[in-house]
Structure 1
């Protein structure tokens, strides 16, 4: 860096010396040349000072200011050389307006101001006693650029407190205007922000993480940060930093992943998925006081005694930690099932109560719990986390869930990593007990994970098996929210249930009635999503479409769909029509459909141009009509 700056400064210093020498040799306009010489000498003194301090100079404004200064000195040399003309004829034909000297004098004064500002802005805050720098003349056309230069220079040379303040200033600029964010990146702000994130005090680290998240507004910006090493720094922070800093870093991860999905795998390669899940699991999954666990020094579990809510006693004896632990789950409530899962996880780690084990709990094909002993891996820093205030812990979970939501979107490998961890169980618990932000981000994460599982057969079969206890708990919580139908979680939960449509057995129909009820919802968006979710149950691609179609009819879905097709908003009409067509196609002999005169509805719909302009919908509509005409042609005169 120092050598580059010296090379930049070499030419303007040479030009300044030439101007001084030419001014001494001037034969005309001597007074004007003397004034230019005086200012040039001041300028060259500053340039030499800059050369001596080259290692401290901030490169971006240095290049800009020195380039402008070089152009000014080149013009000054041309002007002064004209004043060296010898002979009467040369002097007569060399006409120099007086205004040219005034303009050149002003330009040299501006260059003196620019270089002087450059030296001050590149000095440490201690050396310049925190004085207000003002704006250099070069800032006349773009004052924000010089403000950005000043703050980035402080990030390079200031104390930790001053660097924190500079990062906060960049946060304000990036938040106000996307173009300012671009300038911060172009002017080299990412490197010192990452350095502050690694080395700063807690407040400075927070400001740096927030700034990085705000700067990642587009793929190009995020890619620049990836090359600058943001993944490595984020992984270090999520493992070791104070919880507030970790929470802000998790938010930054979510922003970068949302704006540039290609970086998802890079974050995963740096173990960020596991670190985020660790934060999600902290104090979410823990041992229950009703369980007593006894173990010897070899961690062999001799007995586990559990008193259930019905005061029945269940004894489980285990001679080896690799032996399956059988539990009579019976008709346990979700909370009881959660207690069983979390306690089983706790038994496999020789830790004190309230500490988390990294061992995973999975279920075998019979639905019994089986423990898999795994080597302990270093996760997020646990030290001092218990003493954090509840608001900070909640914010950490909310941001971890938000980051997992955006990292999981459209990415099968990351979704597989998430579902193979404790995350599904955590999401189920947080949907029930988390604060508003935690619940919403958990619901959105589940929506994205199930959306990938809908398209990825292997993921769907491994993560959302019908006998998976984590899956059961997730479905239970999704259904509770759908049944209440009174929160902002409703739409992501509807979508998540729809995405899982192909995972339910024929006897698992409890989600149909709540979804059918939502077809009568006043909010068009809710009715639309309910119709789309039910379509995933009733469509031909679903192996159990016949059973699900009958269940929709049995729950009173036909009458709601007819109302939506006739009178719903246009965004709802098409979704309702598609669902009605699938039901008519699969259950054409239904008496309920005949009594509701569904054939009449489909004939009306086939005459509406906006409903048939989609070729797929038009084809489905014609097939459904044909099936109904075959079975219910007498529907208008009464069905036997």
Structure 2
């Protein structure tokens, strides 16, 4: 069955058994009609219509039995179920036309012309449904008419038709059907659910896997992207259906435009489901993604006796053309080389953009992705792209690094092991993050770089002004979001969970002139003002005896802003109180002039 798996398959009748029931019921109706004592003409008409329905049912049995590839059973079962109900109504009516004993029983068994008309219309609908089904099989899905069963919901008929075309049609027709399903699914969650329930997901996956034509693969993959968007059930179904290894295989050995669509599908699935992320990583999806991301990297800046970042990434790209067991893909490798010769630079760039996005989505909160990327040369590849590229590709790589760093933040052992400052990959990544923070002016690029540095705050020694200086400088950024992210990141350097919080605090206050910039940020009445206040509290607690804090009137600022902020953030009450207390200890006369804060 191509539809959604039945949780109790042993309880579900086979399709042939389900078709046999209404056939036997139809024969019984015909026999009863022949034995009718009243309304004989009407019963004979019903019998002829029932015979047509039974003949169509037998034709469906032959199609199902003769199909070598299997057909979607869901529409057949739906239609046969409706046919069975209508035949039940018919048999009940025909029974009333048999001879009954007693006047009273005859009165209760009387029929009217209206009764026959209703049943006749029901049989007409059943006949129309069966004829539509047979026409679909005969035309291999190209019939676009509407069966009576779907008259109130034409989407259902269209979905059925396109699914049958996927299974029975010619390659071109199958590609068109996939495109149509994708169009139906776009921005319509109900249609996505219908496609899943009616068995449309697996035929799309099969079309993608077969590789009959790149057009069909792209159409199938794009359709699956549309169907999976905001649909956790579809993603879970694909994972349970072992789709992940198929997608990884297609991603690793297909024309470039197919890889674009498959990388987008990986992103869509990974974005919604952590289980999908883990399954993709177990299937080694990072190998083709990183390999594609690093293609076209040329050997530059040769260094005597040392491998440059360029050469390391180039070696990674060449290694990516091997299978997971290290063997060469032979003719497949040469075929891809020939394909690359005729691909446009725009397509190759687009492939990298989509692969970088997939790595970004796979990295979010996934420890397995973190290990896979940091234990290989994936970080070097990301660093090189951030250094050499611009636009969406650079942004996606920055977002991937940001998510990798976020995972590192929650695991001290892995963070220390994977982001050693002396190792080439972490150093390359950090250099690029700092460069982006200092040199870029686009907040969309600066913010993920700042977040990544903040996540790694506990990896830096207490004497590391070259890391703190760019963050402190961004406290004065005109973009409030950038300035607020800088405050959040610096807060991770100076909070007491950071072993070097004292040294970091002194550097910010005494060496980097951070307090004036922070005070300017606090003058902006903004919803993110709380982040600047938290940073100021940490600094007041850690270096409350600094003359800079007194000169910048930090105590007055905290007293003025703490009350309105804590009304929205009561969890900060103790932090505000502690900071104000520290400042009053070190500032002469503060106790005499300050008003009770009522914290």
What TM-score do you get using the length of structure 1 for normalisation?
A: 0.83
Counterpart mapping for 1:40-439 below 5 A: 40-55=50-65, 56=67, 57-86=71-100, 89=103, 90-123=105-138, 125=140, 130=142, 132-199=143-210, 200-216=212-228, 217-284=230-297, 286-288=298-300, 291=302, 306=303, 314=304, 316=305, 340-343=308-311, 356-357=318-319, 376-377=326-327, 381=333, 382-384=336-338, 386-387=340-341, 388-439=343-394
* Closer, same or farther: CA 86–589 of 1 in aligned 2, 3 Å: closer
Assess, with a 3 A threshold, how the Cα gap between structure 1 residues 13 and 547 changes in structure 2: closer, same or farther: same
Partners of 2:529 and 2:443 lie apart in 1 by 24
The CA deviation at 1:581 is 0.6
SS at match of 2:461: coil
Q: Give the equivalent residue in structure 2 for 1:569.
A: 526
Distance 2:55 2:415 in 1: 72
Q: Following superposition of structure 1 onto structure 2, how do residues 451-462 of structure 1 map, counting pairs within 5 Å?
A: 451-462=406-417
RMSD of aligned residue pairs (Cα, Å): 2.6
Structure 1 residues 156, 245: closer, same or farther in 2, change over 3 A?
Answer: same
Cα distance, 1:593 vs structure 2: 0.9
**In the alignment, which residue of structure 2 is the partner of 1:18?**
28
Residue of structure 1 in register with 2:5 after alignment: none
2:451 to 488, 495, 507: 495
CA deviation after TM superposition for structure 1 residue 7, in Å? 0.6
User: How many residue pairs get matched?
Assistant: 567
Which residues of 2 match residues 446-525 of structure 1 at below 5 A? 446-483=401-438, 484-525=440-481
Answer whether contact 2:60 2:134 (CA < 8 A) is retained: yes
Alignment map for 1:614-633 (pairs within 5 Å):
614=569, 616-633=571-588
What is the CA-CA distance between 1:390 and the residue it aligns to?
1.2
Q: Distance in 1 between matches of 2:144 and 2:325?
A: 57
Residues 182 and 93 from structure 1, CA distance in 2 versus in 1: closer, same or farther, beyond 3 angstroms? closer
The match for 1:297 is none
Secondary structure of the structure 2 residue equivalent to 1:71: helix
Question: Hey, what does 2:597 align to over in structure 1?
Answer: none
Using the TM superposition, give the Cα deviation of residue 625 of structure 1 relative to its aligned residue in structure 2, in angstroms: 1.4
List runs of 5+ in structure 2 lacking aligned partners.
3-12, 594-599
Aligned to 1:296: none
Superposed displacement of residue 495, structure 1:
0.6
**1:511, distance to aligned residue in structure 2 (A):** 3.6
Deviation string 1:321-380 (CA, Å, 9 cap, x unpaired) is xxxxxx5xxxxxxxxxxx72333676x89xxxxx72469xxxxxxxxxxxxxx9945589
Query: Structure 2: how far apart are the matches of 1:67 and 1:389?
Result: 53
CA distance in structure 1 between the aligned counterparts of 2:417 and 2:481, rounded to whole angstroms? 32
1:559 correspondence with 2:516? yes
Q: Partner residue of 1:363?
A: none
Q: Take 1:45 and 1:375, find their aligned partners in 2: how far apart are those partners?
A: 56
The farther-off stretch of 139-148 and 504-513 is: 504-513
- Distance in 2, matches of 1:358 and 1:249, equals 17
Q: Which moved more, 1:450-459 or 1:384-393?
A: 384-393
The structure 1 residue matched to 2:536, chosen from 556, 577, 580, is 580
Q: Given that residues 597 and 635 in structure 1 are in contact (C-alpha distance below 8 angstroms), is that contact kept between their aligned partners in structure 2?
A: no
**Cα distance in structure 1, aligned partners of 2:255 and 2:113:** 66
